[in-house]
Structure 1
C-alpha cells in the first residue's frame, strides 16, 4: 500500500542513510522493508554491501516484532543470529541496531538499521539518535501514504466514462508528473444536450496545485447554466479570483461546448492556447486563443470562438506537458499533428500519447489530452 518497493532508490531515503552511516561511523546504514517473505533494502549507504534475502534470516524480521530499538552488539554470541548466513559468511555482520518503521495501518513494515563488521556497544544516547533519524524516515513513509490517498481522490474526480455523442468520438487522459498534479479535464452533458468540456492547467505541481485543481473543477461545473463558454469563464474567474490571488496561483484553461447537430465547437481560451485542429484532408492549424489566465485580473472577460468540425476532423486540446514529450517547443505541433493523422480514432490517439508519456518514466510536467473526432 505504501507503493515504495517498485520505485527503486529515492533521494529522500538515500539522504537519511548517508547521514546515518557518517554519523555513527558504521559499515552500512539502510532503510529496509520487510514483506511476508523477503527483506528488501530500499536504501543503503556505506562500504558494506547488503543484499536482499529471505525474511526468516533477516535481522529486521526481529526488529519489527517490537516497538523498541533492537541492538545486537555481537551477533556471533547471540543465539538468535549466530547461525545466520550474513553472520557466518559475507558480509560477516557483527553489530546491528535497528529501529522499527510503521505503515499506515499501524503495522511495523521495516526498519532504519545500522550494520558493522566489528562488535560494538550502543548506548541509550545513540539509540535515541537512531530513533530520531527513524522518525524522519517515518515521516517520508507517511507522506507517501498521504500522496497515495490524494492521488486516489484526484483520479476519482476525473471522468469515469466516455460520453456518448452520436457521430463523434471523445477520449481523454491525465497523467500527473508525480503522485498528484495540477492538470485536469472534465466533460458532461448540459441540460440542453450539448457536451461541455474543460481542460485546465494550474500553475505549479504537486499537492498544492491539486487542491486548486479540485476547486477550479467544482467552480467550472457550476457554470453549466451558461450556454456561452466566454460567459462561463468570466463567471468562474469572478468566483475564483480571490482564492487564486491569495494562493499566488494562475490557471490556464480551455472551456468548450460541442453542438453535435451543427458540428460546431464553441470555446473560450483563458491563456491556454494549446489546441490543434487537424482536418480530414490532413491540414492542421491552431484555433485562435485569447485572454489572460484565471487569477490575473478580477474583471477579465472572455469571448466565445467557434470552429466547425466536418466529418473526419479532429480537435485536440492538451497541456504543455505534451510538448515536453517532444522538444518542449511549439515546433512539436507538427509531430503531434502527425500522430493525429496516423490514429484511427480518438481513443487510439489518446492511447498513443499515454504510451509515449509512460515510456519516458519520470516526467517534468503533467500531461493531459482531450480529443474530439467527428466520424466520417
Structure 2
C-alpha cells in the first residue's frame, strides 16, 4: 500500500520521537479520513499502568482537540488488541463511561514492542459520514500502521532517554569537578599545628563540606558541615553555605555570632525542609586555644595524650531550621600532642551488608590508637577512611564521609 510505503520513508532513519509520532498520526488521519489522531505512550511496570509518558496529537484546524479517555487506556492495557467504537454512548464495553460529546467514533490500535504495550495510536471521527463510523478495513489498516511503527517509536524514545541520561551524567561530572575544586586541595601550614581533612562522596556530588579559613596572623577557622539530603540539591546548598561562612568570618570573630548570622541567611534563602549541621572552631595559635560552636552537628572528639577525651557539645540547632537562634560557645586549650577530630555522621553511620553500623565505639578505638602511635593527622584521616570503607565492604556507601583532624605538634 502507498500509505505504508510513505510512512516507512517518513519515519525511517529518524530518532526524533516527536517527529516520528506526528508523521504516523498525520498519515493515519489522511488514510482513514479522520478528524483527529493521537499517540499516547504509556509507562511500564508502574503502580498506575495507565500513567502517560508522552502524548502527541494532530487536529485539523476546524476541530477542537480531543482527550483520550482513561477508560480506553485501561481497556487497551488489559486487551492489547485493536478497538473500534462507532457508538460510544451505547457501547457495552464502556458502560457508565462519560465520553467527550464531540467523539462520534474512534479507532484505536496498540503499539507493541517486544510483546509489551508501549503506547496507543487512536484516530477520531470518520469524516466521510458521521453516522457510518469506521469500518473493519479501517481497523486492519490502523493495526498494520501501528505494528510497523511501534518499534521505530520505541527505538527513538529509548535513544532520547539514553541521550538525556548521558547529558545528566556530563552535568553531574561537571558539578562534581567544580565541587572538588571548592574544597581545600591541601591542608594549610599552621604554626605549631598539623591539620588534615578529607571528603569522600557517596554519589557524584555530595552535601558534606569542610574548609580552613585564615582570619588573621594567629587565627584560623576550621569548619565541617553536613547538608540535609543528597546529590545535586545538597551540593548547591553546600556551595551557598561555604560562601556565607567565608563572608561571615571576614568581619566576625566569635563562632556563636558567625553561626547566628549564617543561620539567618540560610533560613531566608532555603525552603523549610533544607538545613545544615555545622561545627565551627576558631584556632588561636598564639594562645593554643580553640573557641568553638556547633549547629546541631555530631560532637567532635578532643583527644588528650593520656588517652582520655572530651566531646565538644556547646552550640545550638542546625542552620536554616529556625530564624533568630542563638548559639552557645565553648573554649578548650590544646596541650602538645592533643588533637581535635571533627567528622560527619557518614563516618559512624557506615553500614555493611549485615546492616551493622561502624559506630562510635570503633571510632574511639581508632582515635586512641592514634594517640598511642603519635600519628600525624594525615595518617589518622587515612586510617579512619580506610577502616570505614573496609567495614562497608560490598555494601553501597549511603552517606558522604568527611573528617578534619587538627593536632598540636611538639615544639
- TM-score bracket for the superposition, by shorter chain length: 0.5 to 0.7
1:375 equivalenced with 2:409 (yes/no): yes
The superposition leaves residues 86-115 of structure 1 with CA deviations (integer Å, 9 ceiling, x where unpaired) of xxxxxxxxxxxxxxxxxxxxxxxxxxxxxx
Corresponding residue of 1:240: 266
TM-score by length of 1: 0.64
Question: What are the residue-to-residue correspondences of 1:1-376 with 2, within 5 Å?
Answer: 123-224=148-249, 225-244=251-270, 246=271, 248-325=273-350, 327-341=357-371, 342=373, 344-359=375-390, 360=392, 362-376=396-410
How far has the Cα of 1:275 moved from its partner? 0.1
CA distance in 2, matches of 1:123, 1:299: 65
Structure 1, 319-328 or 232-241: larger mean CA deviation: 319-328
Secondary structure of the residue aligned to 1:312 is coil
Structure 1, 331-340 or 358-367: larger mean CA deviation: 331-340
How far has the Cα of 1:182 moved from its partner? 0.7
CA distance in 2, matches of 1:256, 1:309: 13
Whether the 8 Å CA contact 1:237–1:298 is kept in 2: the answer is yes
Whether the 8 Å CA contact 1:163–1:188 is kept in 2: the answer is no
TM-score by length of 2: 0.59
Whether the 8 Å CA contact 1:312–1:375 is kept in 2: the answer is yes
Structure 1, 137-146 or 326-335: larger mean CA deviation: 326-335
How far has the Cα of 1:160 moved from its partner? 2.2
CA distance in 2, matches of 1:179, 1:247: 25
Largest Rg, 1 or 2: 2
CA distance in 2, matches of 1:273, 1:266: 17
How far has the Cα of 1:358 moved from its partner? 4.5
CA distance in 1, matches of 2:217, 2:409: 22
Evaluate the alpha carbon distance shift between residue 339 and residue 209 of structure 1 in structure 2; reply closer, same or farther with a 3 A threshold: farther
Whether the 8 Å CA contact 2:197–2:403 is kept in 1: the answer is yes
Secondary structure of the residue aligned to 1:237 is helix
Secondary structure of the residue aligned to 2:163 is helix
Whether the 8 Å CA contact 2:350–2:399 is kept in 1: the answer is no
How far has the Cα of 1:243 moved from its partner? 1.9
Secondary structure of the residue aligned to 1:293 is coil
The superposition leaves residues 254-301 of structure 1 with CA deviations (integer Å, 9 ceiling, x where unpaired) of 011101121101111011133001111111231223311111210101
Secondary structure of the residue aligned to 1:146 is helix
Tell me how large the CA RMSD over aligned residues is: 2.2
Aligned length: 257
| Structure 2 unaligned regions, length at least 5 | 1-43, 46-146, 352-356
